[in-house]
Structure 1
Amino acid sequence: MGAAFGHGVRFGSGNVERLHPLKYRSIWISDVHLGFRGCQADFLLDFLQATECKQLYLVGDIIDVWAMKNGVFWPQSHNNVVRAILDKARGGTEVIYVPGNHDEILRAHIGSDFGNVAVRDEIVHTTADGRRFLILHGDKFDHVVQHRRWLAVLGAHLYDMLLSFNHRLNWVRKRLGLGYWSLAAYLKHRVKDAVNYIGDFEQTVADEAKARGVDGMICGHIHHAEIRDIDGVTYCNCGDWVESCTALVEHHDGTMELMRWTEEQEVLTVEWPLPAAAMASAS
């Protein structure tokens, strides 16, 4: 179960060569939060326009209904992202929308297809090298969301305030010729309780994958992009488009990559395919 992880050749290797379009077998994005002022829609639009894939998985919190309860914010850039996704669906890409807690209103339509977009509660994806990954948003593994909803909503408001400040900070950085930087992600990696929360969440997800008999799990929810092995299970979190601006992609041989896409494009983590699949792809 699982594949070897490669953190040497292309880990943190800087710019990805911009071939147009970049062609992948599958792409996963989550936690876009359209309708929220902190959404990095321009970066996401650039990513969508620069890539092609057979399957595009929207792994929850694509639309932030919670944020829009305090007033509708929907600029043209957010419309452009929706249009880019629908264009992919009309162009033959299989688009699967797995709702999260911020767009849970769509869970009333689980099992429905809207045009070429399928709405599913969860789904199993089989990679080119034969591994089976369970895909879901991940909020069901968050005890705060499940059992203390008021605290989750309060935390979301405080988080929104932090991201709004981060947006202003990056406006200043851009004027100074500096690249995108996430204050929220910086603090999350340095606050002990946040680190423990992430670790507990990841272990719970991995335990669920084992119980389901799949090779791995792909989720979002906690805004912490990651690919790593946990007790023989491949845990993948595709991150978000308010802090890290990351996506998970699968190459045609089953290689999985976690990418950051801002002013520059960077491969963060590479997980190589199973040996048999890699040899078959090379032959």
Structure 2
Amino acid sequence: MNLNDIKVFVSVVEAGSFAGASNILAMPSTTVSRKVVQLEANLGVKLLHRSTRKLSLTEGGQHYFHLCQQHLVALEQANELIMQAQAEPKGKVRISSPFDFAIQYAQPWIVEFLKRYPEISIELDTSDSYVNMVEDRIDVAFRSGQLQDSSLIARRIGPKHSVCCASPEFLNAVGQINVPDDLSKLNCLIMGKSLLSNDWHFIKQAKPYQVKVSGRYATTSMHLVIESALSGLGVAYVPIALVNSHLESGRLVQVLTDYETPQSNMFIIYQSHKYMTKPVRLFIDHIIEKVNPKAPWSL
């Protein structure tokens, strides 16, 4: 079995087309197609359904693709391990992080890391959506909440909880906010696609409080929610990790300080395998160094 044919097949599936794989592999489309046909002939199994519109995997092709992809990743990691036997760490680290967390924390950490290790490169994906670390070949991810995949390792790097805050300008205009129900009468900045059915949660002396809020502006970007709060547009309910510097400077003021909010944790997540490359290990160590003895956003 030709390993190169298998790599071409995996590239076709990942790219979604023969033309896409051709660009990635710097190989003529006719050669890409021929290698996949040859692989199917050697296996005696049809791997792809072909049409003028798109490609799709057969049932056997789906199973074969996942197995091959995992083993190709292992082979790439084995090659990197051999290359990293030299004194200077060298290689690539693929990272996934929510956009706003990347702007505030991951980006400065990455800049410092790259300056420390000039032979290491980084690919950063700032997607807020779910990422399959194996299929997307992600080495390290920053995520909050519960870990869904038990095959991954999650190391806590700090707490995650939200604060309710607004600009001094806004608070001077609306007066004091004493209890959560006061928010129902104010313009609140909504994190989401819709202005409808938005609940903010608080806790006081172990008793939960839930208040329905509304406003004139909703956005799926936490960055824009914070910028709107800074501009005096309304009250925001945002992770303290993203506004801690604004609270310290006085550009934002926390309200309802007698109330807590539900708390979860922020994690650095990576795959559990014995073939972890040196650059990945060094990056994880670098992050742990940055959040010890406590995360920079911790109170």
Query: TM-score, normalized by length of structure 2?
Result: 0.22
Q: Please identify the structure whose Cα radius of gyration is greater.
A: 2
Query: TM-score, normalized by length of structure 1?
Result: 0.23
Say which structure is richer in helix. Answer: 2
Could you say which structure has the greater relative contact order, defined with CA pairs below 8 angstroms and 6 or more residues apart? 1
